[in-house]
Amino acid sequence: MPELIPAPAIVPVPGGKVIEEYVGHASSGDDAVSIAHMLAPAGWDEPFQQPEFDEFTVVLDGSLDVEHDDGVTHVRAGQAVITRAHERIRYTTKEGARYLAVCLPAFHGNHVHRDDDDEYDRDPVE
Q: Which residues neighbour 112 within 8 Å (Cβ) at sequence distance 6 or greater?
A: 49, 51, 52, 120, 121
Compute the distance between CA of residue 114 and CA of residue 17 in angstroms, rounded to an integer.
16
**Residue 124 pLDDT > 50:** no
Domains held by the chain: number: 1
What range does the domain containing 83 cover? 17-109
Q: Which residues neighbour 60 within 8 Å (Cβ) at sequence distance 6 or greater?
A: 77, 98, 99, 100
Look up the CATH number of the domain holding residue 102: 2.60.120.10
Residue 3 lies in a domain: no
**Residue 123 pLDDT > 50:** no
Q: For 64-106, what is each residue's pLDDT tens digit?
A: 999 999 999 999 999 999 999 999 999 999 999 999 999 999 9
Can you point out the beta strands (E) in 1-126?
9-11, 18-23, 34-40, 54-68, 71-76, 80-83, 89-92, 97-104
Residue 6 lies in a domain: no
pTM metric for this prediction:
0.88
Residue 114 lies in a domain: no
Residue 76 lies in a domain: yes
